[in-house]
Amino acid sequence: MSAAVLQATGIHKSFGGAIALHDARLTLHGGEIHAVMGENGSGKSTLLAILSGALRPDAGTIGVDGRSVAALDPVAARAAGIAIVHQEPQLAPSLTVAENILMGRLPASGGFLRWQTVNARAQAVLATLGIDVDVRTKVAELSIGRRQMIEIAKGLVDEPRILLLDEATSSLDEADAAILFRLLRALRDRGVAIAFVSHRMTEVMQLADRATVLRDGHFIGTTPVAETDERALVAMMVGRDLKSYWHRAPARPGKVLLDLQNVSRGSLRDVTLTVRAGEVVGLAGLVGSGRSALMRTIAGVRTATSGAIVVDGQRVDPASPAHAHRAGIGYVPEDRKVEGLVMGWSIRRNAALSRMNLRGPLAFLGRAFDEAAFADGSQGLKIKATDSGQRVGELSGGNQQKVVIARELATRPKVLLLDEPTRGIDVGAKEDIYAQIAKLVGEGMGLLIASSELQELLGVCHRICVLYQGRIVAEFDAEEATEEAIAYWASGAHELETPSHGAVPA
Amino acid sequence: MTTNDGGQAASGAGVRVGTALRRYLGVGAALVVLIVVLSLMQDNFLRYSNIMNILRTNAVLFVVAVGLTFVIVSQGLDLSVGSMVALGGVFLASMLEAGVPAWPAILLTVLACTFLGALINGGLIAYGGLNFFVVTLGMLQLLRGAALVLSNGVTKSTIAHEPVQWLGDGFVAGFPMPVLIAIVVGIVGYVVMRWTRFGRSVYAVGGNEVAARLSGVNVKAVRFSVYAIAAFTAGIAAVMLTGRLTSSQPVSGALGLELSAAAAVLLGGASFAGGSGTIAGTAIGVLFLGILANGITLAGVPSYWQGIATGVVLVAAIALDRFRSR
């Protein structure tokens, strides 16, 4: 292995008050494939963005070929031979493949594009990738996987010496991923240094020479993949110090309130799951594993193509969110700003938004209706606001989240679905929401919580189901579950070896 | 959605409602100033006959603008309402000529307009997922074309038909009928928008369509309904305009009415970003434009200047609002 071509040390980066990276490190050698690993929010993408010049670190040094680069911006990064491929293709859909690949460096003479050169050069790049696409096709006509390959081709036009891939395979199917892996190995053999972020343990084990693990923005360690195994990597990713400020409500499971029988839709395959009264069930899984898709299917946002959804003994199969509400299902979506709140509205108006749909279209809605919905829904939530007439846009993230929860509770649901209930909110608001969950469980509600924070699931749930590629691959009793075991199943590591973690495949 | 991406947009949405309110008050204040200035400068301005004249000539615009308010609040636009009014007039005159009694003909005209707008605008936009601008721009051309084809471009007198004349130009106990109709339409629109679940849903769809859908609002039904409502009020306006002009006017009738109505709705505090605007604001917007035109006429300025004045006022109001919110 040759000398380090890229060396980043002591990288600090914070956004507002949130620290994304704290003394992060990464060393890349020519001719290696290097996995950058960590849980959601561990700072992987931020680190890659800094190395590509898209973000500027608050502190730290970045060296290329042993020379320190003072101010790395996208232009300097490109000059240094660094290219980045993003998770989401950043392409202009109405332009052709060739135009996208050569964007910003289209060959021209006298102001006129030389189309033959454009197409020939783009074709040459695609040929090295082994992709068979007519370069005159419009990007809009390509599948997501193909677009991702075009995005990768774009990164290779300048023949970079350092290639960064930020979850570039998350939208590729296996065939396309195989093509990409072959290409990455070929580039490595030519001496290119490659760093890639991936959540898929199988990929890391197959592809990477070394792996660097980050946790909560801290550098945990770099290790040759041949000298470790997936369990050791997972242990590095999740850490072992369980901070505990959760109080799991005592389990008093009653009758079955939510019963999913072989529910399929899109990537969801044969999901079978029950939630009982007085029980909190957790859904673990990586981004794209189907957590949110499952929540949305239960909530009637999209309808299952097969299988049955039974609520409190009645088969419902929600056809719309209003239908789900009438059946007793409440749903707090993942992104409160985009999916949850009407920001220009008052708190009480937002609190009445779900309940009002249980009324007829010409039902009279006055201030009293809103106040009643807010009073019913917000009991125990400790929403901090001047009064219920304050606009939600003025509230903190935690209070906004509480308003969305209040909105759903105002429909008096039997089952409450919470997707990432505490993402991006402060600790105080988190504790209030955990306390509310415990209170609701005590009152006999059934809760289903999807979260990418394993500690949260371990802290509040009685049972935890693990989703991997749209299937429930494991189910744990919360008492026996460990972060390692959940991460093991969620990352697909079980596909590499026979199970040995005590969980029974579901 | 064009809004609600991150904290800045979140406060931006809050500011938007605030500025909508300020613009509403701002135009209201400008309206008062305009009235004071005109009443000082023009002796005739405050006369009962002149005021009634202003109200009568703007009743049609207001009725159309009420329907358009629903559409704009839902973050849409209906460019076809002017052509719909013209086509409605042709329907009405043709039916009367064919011997259909006046009241059934009036009812059928309103129903036909509502049906057309609901089916094509509402259907294609809400359920077909087509862009509202494209659909209603196409309908602007199509409906005007249909009015010309059906009438051969010929105006037909309706003066012999008492009920039509009464609705468009008559009086009830000395009070102009079209103004009465406008007031009733305005009150119904106000109550529906402000106090019913449906009205609330229109604001929700315009304010944050995704949140509205996930919380159980039937977004497609709401979008369908607002275009049906716009066509319904256009149908009412068609009957009123025919009565006032004593004839159908396929070529020049209600030309550009959709743009005047949109201007009034925007002046009244609505925004193309959706989620804001009120019927009361629209009433103020219509009054402002109407009184401005009246003042120009009273002052002896050629009426060609009306367009310039309207354009300046509209852009100035929205520019002022934008600069203040920075």
Strands A193-197, A33-37: pairing is: parallel
Same domain for A421 and A405: no
Query: Are B210 and A339 inside 8 Å of each other by CB?
Result: yes
pLDDT bracket for residue B6 (50, 70, 90): very low
Domain carrying residue B81: 7-324
- Rounded Cα distance, B256 and B261, in Å: 9
Query: Scanning every residue of chain A, which has its alpha carbon at the shortest distance from the alpha carbon of B196?
Result: A364
Residue A303 touches partner B, C-beta closer than 8 Å: no
Question: B161 Cβ partners below 8 Å, 6+ apart?
Answer: B96, B102
Mean pLDDT over all residues of chain B? 89
B129: left (phi over 0), alpha (psi -120 to 50) or beta: left
> Of A238, A271, A302, which residue constitutes the final position of a domain?
A238
Q: Which of B215, B225, B271, B276 to mutate to test the interface with A (most CBs of A within 10 A)?
A: B215
Strands (E), A328-454: 329-332, 415-419, 446-450
Same domain for A69 and A25: yes
With a CB-CB cutoff of 8 Å, which residues 399-428 of chain A face chain B?
Answer: 407
Query: Scanning every residue of chain B, which has its alpha carbon at the shortest distance from the alpha carbon of A337?
Result: B4
The stretches of A190-339 forming alpha helices (DSSP H) are 201-207, 230-238, 291-298, 321-327
State the residue for tokens 């969980």.
A503
The reported pLDDT for the residue numbered A448 is 97
In a domain, B159, yes or no: yes
In a domain, B179, yes or no: yes
The reported pLDDT for the residue numbered B90 is 97
Question: A351 Cβ partners below 8 Å, 6+ apart?
Answer: A370, A373, A374, A377, A378, A388, A403, A406, A407, A410
Q: What are phi and psi of A331, to 5 degrees?
A: -140, 120
How many angstroms separate the CA of residue A368 from the nearest CA in chain B? 11
Residue A321 touches partner B, C-beta closer than 8 Å: yes
Q: Which residues pair with A308 in a beta bridge?
A: A261
> Given a cut of 50, is residue B25 above it in pLDDT?
yes
CATH number where A292 lies: 3.40.50.300
Query: Are B10 and A343 inside 8 Å of each other by CB?
Result: yes
Same domain for A423 and A403: no
- Considering only CA atoms, which of A453, A421, A423, A426 is closest in space to residue A437? A421
Same domain for A265 and A233: no
User: For the CA atoms of chain A, what is the radius of gyration?
Assistant: 25
Q: Which of A302, A338, A348 to mutate to test the interface with B (most CBs of B within 10 A)?
A: A338
Write the residue in B17, B198, B200 that is nearest to A344 by C-beta: B17
Neighbours of B199 (CB within 10 A): 22
Query: Are A344 and B207 inside 8 Å of each other by CB?
Result: yes
Query: Are B4 and A345 inside 8 Å of each other by CB?
Result: no
With a CB-CB cutoff of 8 Å, which residues 276-305 of chain B face chain A?
Answer: 276
Question: A250 Cβ partners below 8 Å, 6+ apart?
Answer: none
- Rounded Cα distance, A355 and A359, in Å: 8
Same domain for A63 and A49: yes
Same domain for A352 and A311: no
Cα distances (angstroms) measured from residue A399 to each of A385, A389, A427, B218:
8, 14, 12, 27
Find chain A residues with C-beta within 8 A of B12's C-beta: 393
Residue pair A431/A245 in contact (Cβ under 8 Å)? The answer is yes
Write the residue in B4, B217, B276 that is nearest to A357 by C-beta: B217
Query: Are B1 and A338 inside 8 Å of each other by CB?
Result: yes
In a domain, B1, yes or no: no
Surface-to-core class of residue A427, CB atoms within 10 Å of its CB (0-12 exposed, 13-18 middle, 19+ buried): exposed
Q: Which of A348, A350, A356, A367 to mutate to test the interface with B (most CBs of B within 10 A)?
A: A356
Residue pair B163/B103 in contact (Cβ under 8 Å)? The answer is yes
Q: What are phi and psi of B307, to 5 degrees?
A: -60, -45
- Considering only CA atoms, which of A53, A24, A83, A33 is closest in space to residue A198? A33
The reported pLDDT for the residue numbered A156 is 84
Find chain A residues with C-beta within 8 A of B211's C-beta: 338-342, 353
- For A346-381, give the DSSP string: BHHHHHTTTGGGGS-TT-B--HHHHHHHHHHHTTTT
In a domain, A432, yes or no: no
Cα distances (angstroms) measured from residue A75 to each of A80, A82, A151, A480, A484:
9, 10, 18, 51, 41
Find chain A residues with C-beta within 8 A of B276's C-beta: 344
> Given a cut of 90, is residue B67 above it in pLDDT?
yes
Query: Are B207 and A362 inside 8 Å of each other by CB?
Result: no
Residue B215 touches partner A, C-beta closer than 8 Å: yes
With a CB-CB cutoff of 8 Å, which residues 4-23 of chain B face chain A?
Answer: 4-6, 9-14, 16-17
**B193-227 confidence digits (pLDDT tens):** 999 999 999 999 999 999 999 999 999 999 999 99
Neighbours of A366 (CB within 10 A): 9
What pTM was computed for the model? 0.78
The reported pLDDT for the residue numbered B20 is 52
Query: What's the structural domain count of chain A?
Result: 3
Write the residue in A324, A337, A365 that is nearest to B197 by C-beta: A365
**B84-117 confidence digits (pLDDT tens):** 999 999 999 999 999 999 999 999 999 999 999 9
The reported pLDDT for the residue numbered B70 is 98
Same domain for A272 and A403: no
- For A209-225, give the DSSP string: SEEEEEETTEEEEEEEG
In a domain, A434, yes or no: no
- Considering only CA atoms, which of A337, A425, A338 is closest in space to residue A17? A425
Strands (E), B105-192: 156-157, 171-172, 175-176
Residue A348 touches partner B, C-beta closer than 8 Å: no
Q: Which residues pair with B54 in a beta bridge?
A: none
Query: What's the structural domain count of chain B?
Result: 1
In a domain, A139, yes or no: yes
Same domain for A406 and A269: no
Find chain B residues with C-beta within 8 A of A301's C-beta: 213-214
Same domain for A155 and A180: yes
Query: Scanning every residue of chain A, which has its alpha carbon at the shortest distance from the alpha carbon of B220?
Result: A320
Residue B275 touches partner A, C-beta closer than 8 Å: yes
Handedness of CA A78, A113, A97, A189 (dihedral sign): negative
Same domain for A476 and A366: no
Residue B210 touches partner A, C-beta closer than 8 Å: yes
Find chain A residues with C-beta within 8 A of B195's C-beta: 364-366
Query: Are B10 and A393 inside 8 Å of each other by CB?
Result: yes
Amino acid occupying residue A53: G
- Rounded Cα distance, A400 and B235, in Å: 43
* pLDDT under 50: residue ranges of chain A: 1, 241-244, 502, 505-506
In a domain, A487, yes or no: yes
Query: Are B196 and A361 inside 8 Å of each other by CB?
Result: yes
Find chain B residues with C-beta within 8 A of A399's C-beta: none
How many angstroms separate the CA of residue A485 from the nearest CA in chain B? 34
Query: Are B217 and A353 inside 8 Å of each other by CB?
Result: yes
String of b and e for B58-81 (b: at least 16 CB within 10 Å)? bbbbbbbbbbbbbbbbbbbbbbbb
Residue pair A97/A122 in contact (Cβ under 8 Å)? The answer is yes
- For A92-122, give the DSSP string: -TTSBHHHHHTTT---EETTEE-HHHHHHHH
pLDDT bracket for residue B11 (50, 70, 90): very low
How many angstroms separate the CA of residue B278 from the nearest CA in chain A? 14
In a domain, B98, yes or no: yes
Please tell me the total number of residues recorded for chain B in this structure: 326
CATH number where B75 lies: 1.10.3470
> Given a cut of 70, is residue B10 above it in pLDDT?
no
The reported pLDDT for the residue numbered B325 is 54
Same domain for A419 and A393: no
**B141-179 confidence digits (pLDDT tens):** 999 999 999 999 999 999 999 999 999 999 998 899 999
Domain carrying residue A65: 4-238
The reported pLDDT for the residue numbered A496 is 73
pLDDT bracket for residue B5 (50, 70, 90): very low
With a CB-CB cutoff of 8 Å, which residues 324-343 of chain A face chain B?
Answer: 324-325, 331, 333, 337-343
State the residue for tokens 């040094």.
A61
- Considering only CA atoms, which of A197, A203, A201, A260 is closest in space to residue A489? A201
Find chain A residues with C-beta within 8 A of B218's C-beta: 320, 322, 357
The reported pLDDT for the residue numbered A19 is 76
Cα distances (angstroms) measured from residue A279 to each of A148, A175, A362:
41, 41, 38
Residue B196 touches partner A, C-beta closer than 8 Å: yes
In a domain, B2, yes or no: no
Residue pair A485/A458 in contact (Cβ under 8 Å)? The answer is no
State the residue for tokens 């890391």.
A204
Residue A363 touches partner B, C-beta closer than 8 Å: yes
Same domain for A349 and A316: no
In a domain, A404, yes or no: yes
